[in-house]
A and B are shown apart, each in its own frame.
Chain A
Amino acid sequence: MKNSVLMICLFVVMFNFSCGQDAENQVDIPSDVPFSPELLIDGLLIPWGMAFLPDGSLLVTEKSGELIHFIDGKKIAVSNVPEVYDRGQGGLLDIELHPDYENNGWIYITYASPEGPVKGGNTAIIRAKLKDNALVNKELLYKAEPNTTKGQHFGSRIVFDNDGYLYFSIGERGERDVNPQDITLDGGKIYRLFDDGRIPEDNPFVGTSGAKTAIYSYGHRNPQGLAKNPDSGEIWDHEHGPRGGDEINIIKKGANYGWPLITYGINYSGTPITDKTEMQGMQQPIHYWVPSIAPSGMAFITTGKYRGYKGSILVGSLAFQYLERLELDGTKVMKREKLLENLGRVRNVKQGPDGLIYVAIEGKGIYRLNPN
């Protein structure tokens, strides 16, 4: 009898250890932080994307459709920006420079586009050059089809890998049971292209009948964070779950991330979506958030300017309005910290070429974190 009680105790302890992650994640509030925030650009409503130009100026997209060039302390509106479908979560979205921008001048922009025969909009990506504060040489690289008047899940973030491939994300556009698991349809995917929009011949679904061959991975819900891991060169995403179940994933060629067949989240109404959190042939996240923080923007910190931050990732929280720092050991999240509480919805975060961290907050603007 004594033995079996001991065995049960042992089992409980072992079982707890064997669970990869607690259902309710722990988040710490640090007593002091190695920076003080300074509002660098004020008067912005939803600063969605930002890109640092070599001259030290900054390009910022406003979801409403404005592209702002912040130079010498002034905000200048860039003209000839594509028409955006400013509805729900759609609008002017991410912006990123070509890795060889200094030589070729290409700027990449994602946005919700109303183009096409069907009413509504869907995510598109263009590249263009900046000349006299106007976008010129605009080239449409990809446009998801069909348009829909639904307001959710456009994605989208843009990132280049070490080999110069262009990755961008498109959310499932409110059609979770239709789009994410079907590789012949757009939405709920991460795409990979050459920098000029051509589809690489070694993309995973080239040769698959009917497939959208720009797809690199599928089964995503709404990825609004995409970044290159500076150590491994891998592309990492994070994506919004429903109620609970936001995820961080490492993006692998041709892989299925499971939405909506597996998830750690439930419907907004509290009813289950599925009872499965894992399935054969589907990827597991390296981290998930319950409850949802509603992540947007992701940056790997490589600078040593902030005590203890090197190697961490920073993620914005829309739902709880703070900047989250995740300390990693390889691919395992060891610790979570809440920063910049109560300033507003954190839409985006980036480490600038000057090694400083820039944070975009809705209703406020762009903050620079000045190291102490």
Chain B
Amino acid sequence: MKTFLFSYFTIVCVLSLYVFQEPALEASIQRGSEIYADFCVTCHLDQGEGVANTFPPLAKSDYLANNREGSIRGVKFGQQGNLVVNGVTYNSVMAPLGLEDDEVADVMNFILNSWGNTSEKMVTVEEVGAIQKK
């Protein structure tokens, strides 16, 4: 009986995560697309392609795929110094954008799920909140 209950609740929890995360993620991506159009598109452009040797691409970016925490930190606090993306070294300054934690989460979810990028784990406000300036 105990085992049954345990498995039952586990399954319900896991299912609800899937069921509730999807609409939550979609809503976050939608809000993130507006943040992107407001704060990011002028440099990183409409398809996340960036500008060669000046503004790194976000579409199919290996940096983004492999440095989740660093990417969130960059959006939250700004980015300076050398950054290698898809084998190209960039040395531009991205000033702090002044976004609130929920906006950082939204725009990250948009970027991580656009132009061929996919991410299994949704970025949450809590995750953004926990990331400190280096």
Contacts and interface: CB of A to CB of B under 8 A. Distances in A.
Interface of A: 45-46, 63-64, 85-88, 90-91, 150-152, 174, 268-270, 294, 319-321, 344-345, 362-363
Contact of A268 (B46, B54, B92, B93): B46
A85 B38 CA distance: 16
Interface string B8-38: 0000000000000000000000000000011
Nearest to A240: B42
Interface string B82-97: 0000000001110111
A94 B54 CA distance: 25
A340 to B, nearest CB: 14
B51 to A, nearest CB: 7
B42 A45 contact: no
Contacts of A362: 92-93, 95
B98 A151 contact: yes
A319 B93 contact: no
B54 A88 contact: no
Interface residues of B, number: 19
A91 B97 CA distance: 10
A56 B98 CA distance: 34
A29 to B, nearest CB: 16
A45 B95 contact: yes
A249 to B, nearest CB: 21
B96 A86 contact: yes
Contacts of B38: 88, 150-152, 174
A341 to B, nearest CB: 11
B92 A345 contact: yes
B51 A319 contact: yes
A344 B95 CA distance: 13
B80 A363 contact: yes
Interface string B48-86: 000100100000000000000000000000001000000
**The 5 nearest A-B residue pairs measured at CB:** A87-B98, A363-B93, A151-B39, A268-B46, A269-B46
Contacts of B51: 319-320
A275 to B, nearest CB: 20
A347 to B, nearest CB: 10
Given A86-B96, A152-B39, A319-B43, 13 more contacts: A46-B93, A85-B98, A86-B98, A88-B39, A88-B98, A152-B42, A268-B46, A294-B42, A320-B54, A344-B92, A344-B93, A363-B80, A363-B91
